[in-house]
A and B are shown apart, each in its own frame.
Chain A
Amino acid sequence: MTTSTKKEAIVIGGGLAGLFATIKLGEKGIPVNLFSIVPCKRSHSACAQGGINASVNTKGEGDSPRIHFEETLHGGDYLANQAPVMGMCEKAPSYIYLLDRMGVAFNRTPEGDLEFRRFGGTKFHRTAFAGSTTGQQMLYALDEQVRRLEVEGLVTRYEGWEFLSAVLDDRKSTRGIAAINLTNLEIRTFPGDAVIVATGGPGMIFGRSTNSMICTGSAAGSLFQQGVWYANGEFIQVHPTAIPGEDKHRLISEAVRGEGGRLWTYKDGKRWYFLEEWYPKYGNLVPRDIASRAIFKVCREMKLGIDGKDEVYLDISHVDPKLLKERLGGIIEIYEKFVGDDPSKVPMRVFPAVHYSMGGIYIDSRQMTNIPGILSCGECEYQYHGANRLGANSLLSCLYGGEVAAERTQEYFDGLSEKGDSGSLRWLEQHRKLEEERLESLLRMHGKENPYQIWEEMGKWMTDHVTVIRYNDKLKKTDEKLVELKERLRHINVGDPTHWANQAVIFTRQLQNMLELARVITLGALRRDESRGAHFKPDFPNRDDEHWLKTTVAKWTPIGPEFSDEAVDTSIMQPKERKY
C-alpha cells in the first residue's frame, strides 16, 4: 500500500470508542495514526464494571431493540436525538457476538451461551457481562485486535502522546493535529485528513469523581476553543453508589443492584429500603439520576444517612457468595482492598459521585462536528444518552459511535477532491511553532499559584453546586469563581522548568481547558430553567418540553461561552411523562 497518495486518519484516544474506530478504519484500508496519553490498555474504559446492553432476548422475556430504544429515550428524559439511538440499539446484539468472537470472557449460562443480567431503567435481562470488569475485558479485546492491525502495518500507535490542538487551515478544514510527547515534551504536528476525537469524559473537572485521573476533558476543551461546538454540557451523571474517597470516589457498579443488592438506611431503628418503598415497580433499579436524588434526600433533607453522615448502605450480603464471586468479584475486591470490609458479610457504605457526562462535543447524526474533518465518538460527544444515561449503555455507545465515525470518515474522504499535501505542510509547521511558544511561556511563568490547588478549588465548587441539586444563585457564584480561577491561572508557577517528563506543565495546560468546559457546564445549567434527567433545579422542578425540549449548543468566544438551542429529533416516538 502506498500511503503517500492515500488519505490518512488520526484517532485521538485509545479507549473503547477510539480503538473500535481504529479497527473499522484499518479494515477499510485507511491508514491510522492512533494517539493515547497512556498505553491503550490503561484507558478509562477499563473501569466500566457492570456490562453492555443488547436486546438479544435469550431468556424469552420479549425484549427487543425497539424496547431498548424506548427505555434508553425514557431514561434520558427524551433529550436524545432519536434516529442515532435507534441505530445504536438495533446494532447492539451484533456487537455482543463480535466481542464474543474476539474472546471477551463473558459470563455464560450452563449451556455455554451468553448470560445476561438486569440493570437500571429496565425490567429485562439485557446486560451482557464479564464478571464485574466488563469494560476492562472489552478494552483488552479491542486493544489486542489493534495490536494485530499494528503488526499488519495498518495502524501506528503513539502511546504517551497527548493531543494539544487541531491544525486547521484558513477555511477551517482539518489538516492534522499537534501533539506532545509526555516524556521529552517534544511537540510535533501530524498530518491527517480526518481526526476522530475519542478522548472520554471530563470527570476531573469535579475534582473527585469515579473517573480516572486522565479524564480531564482537556482535548474537548481545547477543540472548543478552536471553534468546535459543545452540546448539553450541563448534563452530568452522578452515580448513586460509590465509595467516597480523598483521592477519588470508587465506583460500586449498578450490577450490584442488578444482582439483588438493596439500598437502605436506618429509620426509627429499623432497616428502611427507601427505593423499594418509593419506587415499588423498579425498586433498587430506578435510573441513576433518580437513585442519586433519593440518596441526597435521605441524607441531606431527612438527615437519615448512616451515623448522620453522607452515606447509605448497599447490601449484597444476602446473595450466594459463589454467585457474588463469579459475577461481581472485581467489585467485591475493590471494596475489600480500599475499605477493608467483605461485602459478602457486611453491607457496603456508599454515596453518589460524579460519574459520566451525557453532554459533550457537538456532532451531527453521523459523528461529524461542525468543523469538517473533525469527528467524535465515545463519552466525549453528546449524542446517545439525552439527559441521563442508562447503565450499561456507555460501552455500547462507544462501539456504535466508533463504527459510525469510521464509516463517516470514509464518506468524507470520498467527497474530498484532493489531498492538498503541499498546503498542509505550511499549516502544520506554523501550528507547531504556535504550540511550542505556548508551552515555553508556561514554563517561564514564576507566579505564586499552584495548578493542583486551583484544580482542587474548581472541583469543590463544581461538586458543591453543579451536581445533583442546582440553584441559580449558586450557579452564578460558581461561574464567578471559575472566572477568578482562570485569572489566577495566569499567575502560575509549575515548579519545574525542565523538558523531561514535566507533568506539572502538562497538567496546567489541561487545567486551562478544563476551566473552559467548567464554565460551559455551569452556565448551561444556569440557563436551563427546568428539571430533566440529571439536571435538577428545586426552583423549577418539572420538565418543560415547551421551552426546553432542546439541545444546548455552546460556542466559544473570548468573553465566555455563547449559547443557542437546537430542536431535538423526535421523529420516532413522542416524549412521554417520565415515571418509574
Chain B
Amino acid sequence: MFKGADGGKRLRPAYIRKQERFGFAMITPSMIFLFIMAAFPLIMLIVMSGFRIDLTYPAGNRWVGLGNYVEMMRDPRFRHAIQITAIYTFSTVLLQIVTGLAMAMAFLKSFRGQGILRVSVLLPMILAPVVVGLAFRTMIMTPEYGILDYLFIIVGLGSKPWLVAPNWALFSVIIIHTWQWTPFAFLVFLASLHALPPDPLEAAQLDARNAWQRFRHVILPMIRPAVVIVIIFRTMIALRAFAAIFSATGGGPGTATEILNLYTYRESFNSLNLGYGAALGTSLLVITVVISVIFFRMRQSRM
C-alpha cells in the first residue's frame, strides 16, 4: 500500500516502524512453520546422510562421514535410478510441451462447447495420482481386460506387455504421467495464445508463407515465456513424481521404472536404511537445486 516514493517520505518514521512490526507479525507464523518443517528437516537430511542409520540393526548406527556417498558412487542401482529419472523427466516434459502446444494451436479459434473440453482436461489433474496409477495398472493396461489393451487387440495391434516388460513399463509410466499433466500445458498455452495481441498475428497472416512459418516465427517467440514457465513447472513436478509410478509398477519390473524418488523410498522405508536413504535424498535435493538455478538463470537472460 505505501509503495509510492513520495507517500513514503511524508509518513513519520514511527509509522514506518509500526508498519515493519506489522509486516513481521503477519509473516511470522508461516515463516516459523516453514523453518521448522522444511528448512530444518532439509538440514537434518544432510546431517543424517553422514551417519549409518539402520533401523533393523540400531546397535550399528554410527558416524560414517562421506561413507554413504562413497557407497553411492559405487552403487550401480543409483546410477540406474539417475538414468531412469533423466529419461522420465525429459520425455514427460517434452511430450507435455509438444502435445499441449499442438492442441492449444488447434483451438486458437474459440467455439461453443469449450466448457466441456475444459472440464474434461481438468479432471486428470485433480485426481489422486495413486488412483490414476492403480486405474492404469488394472482397468486400462491389464492384458486383454484392460480397455487400452482391448482396443489394441481389436484394431489388430495385439496385446502389449504394458507394465510387465521393462522397456514397456518405462514407456507406460511416461504415458501415464503425460496423460495426467498435458492438460496443464494445454490450458496455460491456450490462455497465453488467447491473450496475444491480434495485430502481429494479422501481419503474419500476410507475410508468412505457411502455417508452420507463422507458428515458428511469429507465435512461438511471443509465447516463449509461457513455454519456459511450463518447462520449469513441469520439470520440478516430474522430479517429485512418486505415487503414480509407485502404484502402477512399484518401480518394477525389477528396477525398470525405479526413478530416484522410488529408490530413495525403498531404501529408507522398505530396507529401513535411513542413513543411505538420506544420502540418496540429499543427491535429489542437489539435483533439484542445480536444475532450479539453471532455470532461474535461463529465465533471467532470455526475458
Q: Please determine whether chains A and B interact with each other in the same assembly.
A: no
B-binding residues in A (CB < 8 A) = none
